[in-house]
Amino acid sequence: MAQKKSSTCPTCMGKGVIEGVCETSPEWDGAANEQSDGGRICTPDDKCPTCKGTGKVEG
């Protein structure tokens, strides 16, 4: 009765990617000042390390 089923990855919620997030740092001036917009810095979308981009994990 061993049933292999996959479930939605909890890390990416089944999307397979970790969406980039934008953060605002009030004191962000220096390193990436050229790319920051008024102290805002964003990270790009990245493939989910938990499900490796499939959106499913074996449970």
Pick the closer one to Zn ion by CB: 14 or 41.
Answer: 14
Binding Zn ion by CB under 5 A: which of 11, 28, 36, 41? 11
Binding Zn ion by CB under 5 A: which of 8, 28, 36, 50? 50
Listed in order, strand segments (DSSP E) in 1-59 are 6-8, 17-18, 22-24, 40-42, 46-47, 56-58
Q: Select the span of 11-19, 21-29, 30-38, 39-47 touching Zn ion (CB under 5 A).
A: 11-19
DSSP helix/strand/coil, 35 = coil
Which residue ranges make up the site for Zn ion (CB under 5 A)? 9, 11-12, 48, 50-51
